[in-house]
C-alpha cells in the first residue's frame, strides 16, 4: 500500500493512496486536530470531489468501522496458524527471586519451554533480550510459549 | 466615571459592534471582512462622517498590537521544518513571484512620480498575497486537499520569509538612511533576523517547554509577554516589530504553540480588526477618488501576474490545467500584509508621500474583493483556457 505524505505548511499533513478499484482517497490532518476526508475527483486528478470534515469522535467512529473488524480477523488468523500458542505479559514484582537476576538465571526455556521475547521497563521496551539481560523490580516480561508453560513461568517469576 | 470614559466606551462600543455587524455581512457573501473594516475606518476618520476623538488613542495602540498578534499567530502556525522544507521546494517559484509581482508596484510608483523609497514600498504592497484570505478561501472552497494547494501554501511561506528580510530593510530606509549609507544598518538588521531565526530553531523547543503552562491564563500572559518583548527588541534593532513577532511565533512549538494558537485567535481577530480600522481612520476619503484609477490599473496588472505566478508554480509541480488556474486565482487576493507594509511606511515621517495611503487602501479594497471572486470563478476560467488550447492541438 503506497501512502503518499505531503506537508501542508501552516495547515497540517495530507496522506493519500489509490484504492484497488482505482479511486483516490486522502486524509488531511490539521494542526488543530481536525481531520478532513478527501475524495478525489476521477475526472480532475488534482481536485477533490468532496471534502468531508471529521471531528475527533467522527474519526474514531470511522476508524472503528473500518479497522476493528480487520484487527479481530488478524488475531484470529494468528491463533489458527499456531494452535496452542500463548502470549502473555508477566510482571517481575520486587519480591520476586529474579527481581535482580538475569534471564539466564530463570532458565525459563529449559524448565518451561517458554521464550522471553521482550522486556517492558517503564515506558520503554527492550526487544529480544539475551540470557545475560538483567531484570529490575517492576519490569514486565513479554513471553511466548504453551499455555501450561506460561502458567508455570508465571509461578516461577512470582516466587 | 467621568465624561472622557463615557465617550471612550461609547465610541469603542459603537466601533466594535459595527465591526461585528460588518463581519457578519461579509461572511454572508463569502467575502473577507478586511475591505469592510477599511471602509468603516474611512467613514469615521479624518474627513469622514464622524471623527472619533476618545477612541483614537486606543485604536493607535490597538493597531500596533494588531500587527504583532497577526504575525505572532502566523509564526505559531509554522514549524521550523515546514519553513526549511517550504524554502527548499519553493525557492524558484518564490523568485518568479518576486519578479512578477514586485516590479509592477515599483514601476507604478516611479511612473506616478513618487520618490524611489515610496515606489519600493508600493512594490511590497503589490507583492505579498494575503495568507489570511487564501487560507479562508481554501477552506471555504473545499480545496485544502487539492494537489495545487501545497504549491500555493509554500509560496505563502516564502513570501512570509521574504517579509522577514524586506521589512527590516524598509525600516532602516524609512529611518532616514539612503540606500548606500544604510547598507551597514540593513546588513545588521537582516543579520540580527538571521541570528534570531537560527536561535529560534535551535532553542525553540526548550523555550517552548519553559513557556508552556497547563493553565490558560499563565500561558497567555507568558506568550504575549514574550512576543511583545521580542517585537519591541526587534523594533529597537530596526528589524521591525512585525518580524520580531513572527520569529517569536516560529520559535514556539509543541504544546505551548498549540495552546497559544487557541488562546490568541480571538485576541488576534479583535486587534487585527482595530488595525484595519485604524489604517482607514488615518486615510482621507477625499483622496480616494483620484487614487482609484491607478489602483484599478495596478490591480488588473498584478492580478494577471499572480495568475501567471500560480500557473507557473503549479505547472512545475506537475499539476493539470484546471489546478494551475485554481492556484493562480487563489493567490490574487491582497490584504493584511499590504496594509501592514503601507501602514509601516505611511507612519514614517521621512516618506512624505500623501498618495500612498489612499492608493494602498483602494488597491487592497479592490483585490480583497476581486481575489475571492476570481478564485470562485476558477473552474469556468479553466474551461475557457482549455477550449482555447484544444483547437491549437487538433489543428493539422
pLDDT digits (tens, 9 = 90+) for B99-120: 999 999 999 999 999 988 899 9
- On average, the pLDDT of chain B sits at 87
Cell of A15: 496522506
Contacts of B153 in chain A (CB under 8 A): 8-11
Interface of A with B in 3-22 (CB under 8 A): 6-11, 14, 16
Q: How far apart are CA B363 and CA B297, in angstroms?
A: 9
**Running DSSP on this structure, what letter comes out for residue A14?**
E
Candidate from A10, A47, A50 with C-beta closest to B153: A10
> Does residue B130 belong to the interface with chain A, where contact is any CB pair within 8 Å?
no
Share of chain B above pLDDT 70, in %: 94
pLDDT band at B390 (very low <50, low <70, confident <90, very high): low
A56 min Cα distance to partner chain B (Å):
16
pLDDT at B389: 65
Please name which of B179, B150, B21 lies closest in space to residue B88, comparing C-alpha atoms: B150
The pLDDT, as a whole number, for residue B395 is 44
Regarding pTM above 0.90, the answer is no
Buried b (16+ CB within 10 A) or exposed e, B245-281: bbbbbbbbbeebbbbbbeebeebbbbbbbbbbbbbbb
pLDDT digit string, tens, across residues B131-181: 989 988 898 888 999 999 999 999 999 999 898 889 988 888 887 766 677
- Provide the 3-class DSSP secondary structure of residue A127: strand
What pLDDT was estimated at residue B396?
46
Asked if A30 and B138 touch (Cβ cutoff 8 Å), the reply is: no
Contact B135 A26 (CB under 8 A): no
**Measured CA distances, B72 to B37, B132, B261, B267, B338 (Å):** 21, 13, 9, 11, 17
Contact B356, B15 (CB under 8 A): no
For residue range A105-144, what is the model confidence (pLDDT) as tens digits? Answer: 888 888 888 899 998 887 788 888 888 888 888 888 888 8
* Alpha carbon distance B377, B204 (integer Å): 42
Among residues A42, A36, A141, A69, the alpha carbon closest in space to that of A98 is found at A141
**Averaged pLDDT for residues B181-188:** 78
* DSSP sequence for B324-341: HHHHHHHT----HHHHHH
SS3 B319: coil
Confirm whether the ipTM is greater than 0.85: no
Residue B312 has pLDDT above 90, yes or no: yes
Grid coordinates given for A64: 472503528
Task: Flag whether pLDDT at B182 surpasses 80.
Answer: no
Backbone angles phi, psi at B143, to 5 degrees: -105, 10
Confidence at residue B177, expressed as pLDDT on a 0 to 100 scale: 64
What distance lies between CA B58 and its chain's CA centroid? 22
Q: How far is CA B384 from CA B303, B370, B381, B388, B390, in A?
A: 17, 19, 5, 6, 10
Distance CA B362, CA B284 (A): 12
pLDDT at B4 over 90: no
Is 80 exceeded by the pLDDT of residue A77? no
- A36: nearest CB among B145, B262, B326: B145
A35: β partners: A29, A54
Out of A97-111, B29-43, B374-388, pick the least confident.
B374-388
- Rounded CA-CA distance B394/B389 in Å is 9
CB-based contact, A139 to chain B, within 8 Å:
no
Closest Cα in chain B, distance from residue A9 (Å): 6
Query: Which of the two residues, B200 and B267, has the higher pLDDT score?
Result: B267
Alpha helices by DSSP H, B237-253: 241-251
Task: Please give the pLDDT value at position B394.
Answer: 46
Beta bridge partners of A30: A12
Q: What is the pLDDT of residues B230-281, one digit of tens each?
A: 999 888 887 788 999 998 998 888 788 888 998 999 999 999 999 999 898 8
Spatial separation of the C-alpha atoms in residues B228 and B72, rounded to whole Å: 9
Amino acid at each position: 500500500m503506497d501512502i503518499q505524505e505531503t506537508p501542508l505548511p501552516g495547515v497540517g499533513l495530507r496522506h493519500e493512496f489509490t484504492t484497488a478499484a482505482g479511486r483516490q482517497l486522502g486524509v488531511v490532518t490539521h494542526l488543530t486536530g481536525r481531520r478532513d476526508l478527501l475524495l478525489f475527483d476521477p475526472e480532475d486528478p488534482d481536485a477533490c470531489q468532496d471534502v468531508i470534515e471529521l471531528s475527533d469522535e467522527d474519526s474514531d467512529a470511522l476508524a472503528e468501522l473500518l479497522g476493528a473488524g480487520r484487527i479481530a480477523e488478524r488475531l484470529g488468523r494468528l491463533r489458527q496458524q499456531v494452535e496452542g500458542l500463548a502470549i502473555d505479559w508477566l510482571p517481575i514484582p520486587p519480591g520476586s527471586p529474579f527481581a535482580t537476576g538475569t534471564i539466564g538465571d530463570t532458565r525459563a526455556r529449559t524448565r518451561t519451554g517458554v521464550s522471553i521475547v521482550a522486556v517492558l521497563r517503564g515506558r520503554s521496551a527492550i526487544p529480544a533480550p539475551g540470557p545475560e539481560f538483567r531484570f529490575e523490580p517492576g519490569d514486565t516480561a513479554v513471553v511466548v510459549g504453551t499455555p501450561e508453560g506460561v502458567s508455570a513461568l508465571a509461578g516461577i517469576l512470582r516466587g | 466615571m467621568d465624561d472622557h470614559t463615557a465617550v471612550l466606551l461609547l465610541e469603542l462600543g459603537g466601533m466594535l459592534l459595527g465591526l461585528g455587524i460588518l463581519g457578519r455581512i461579509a461572511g454572508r457573501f463569502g467575502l473577507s471582512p478586511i475591505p469592510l473594516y477599511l471602509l468603516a475606518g474611512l467613514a469615521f476618520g479624518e474627513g469622514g462622517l464622524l471623527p472619533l476623538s476618545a477612541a483614537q488613542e486606543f485604536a493607535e495602540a490597538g493597531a500596533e498590537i494588531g500587527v504583532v498578534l497577526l504575525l505572532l499567530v502566523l509564526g505559531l502556525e509554522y514549524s521550523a521544518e515546514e519553513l526549511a522544507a517550504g524554502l527548499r521546494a519553493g525557492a524558484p517559484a518564490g523568485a518568479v513571484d518576486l519578479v512578477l509581482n514586485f516590479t509592477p508596484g515599483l514601476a507604478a510608483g516611479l511612473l506616478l512620480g513618487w520618490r524611489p523609497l515610496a515606489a519600493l514600498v508600493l512594490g511590497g504592497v503589490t507583492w505579498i498575497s494575503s495568507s489570511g484570505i487564501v487560507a479562508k478561501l481554501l477552506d471555504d472552497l473545499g480545496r485544502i486537499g487539492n494537489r495545487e494547494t501545497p504549491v500555493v501554501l509554500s509560496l505563502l511561506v516564502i513570501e512570509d520569509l521574504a517579509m522577514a528580510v524586506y521589512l527590516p530593510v524598509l525600516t532602516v530606509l524609512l529611518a532616514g538612511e539612503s540606500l548606500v549609507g544604510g547598507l551597514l544598518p540593513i546588513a545588521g538588521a537582516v543579520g540580527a533576523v538571521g541570528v534570531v531565526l537560527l536561535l529560534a530553531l535551535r532553542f525553540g523547543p526548550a523555550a517552548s517547554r519553559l513557556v508552556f503552562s497547563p493553565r490558560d491564563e499563565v500561558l497567555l500572559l507568558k506568550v504575549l509577554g514574550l512576543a511583545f518583548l521580542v517585537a519591541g527588541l526587534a523594533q529597537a534593532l530596526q528589524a521591525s516589530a512585525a518580524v520580531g513577532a513572527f520569529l517569536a511565533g516560529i520559535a514556539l512549538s509543541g504544546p505551548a504553540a498549540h495552546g497559544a494558537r487557541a488562546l490568541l485567535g480571538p485576541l488576534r481577530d479583535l486587534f487585527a480588526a482595530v488595525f484595519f480600522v485604524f489604517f482607514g481612520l488615518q486615510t482621507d476619503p477625499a483622496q480616494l477618488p483620484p487614487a482609484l484609477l491607478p489602483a484599478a490599473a495596478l490591480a488588473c496588472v498584478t492580478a494577471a501576474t499572480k495568475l501567471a505566478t500560480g500557473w507557473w508554480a503549479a505547472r512545475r509541480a506537475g499539476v493539470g490545467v484546471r489546478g494551475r488556474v485554481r492556484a493562480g486565482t487563489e493567490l490574487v487576493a491582497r490584504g493584511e500584509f499590504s496594509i501592514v507594509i503601507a501602514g509601516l511606511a505611511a507612519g514614517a515621517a521621512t516618506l512624505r508621500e500623501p498618495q500612498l495611503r489612499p492608493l494602498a487602501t483602494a488597491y487592497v479594497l479592490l483585490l480583497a474583493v476581486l481575489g475571492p471572486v476570481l478564485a470562485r470563478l476558477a473552474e469556468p476560467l479553466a474551461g475557457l483556457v482549455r477550449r482555447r488550447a484544444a483547437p491549437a492541438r487538433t489543428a493539422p
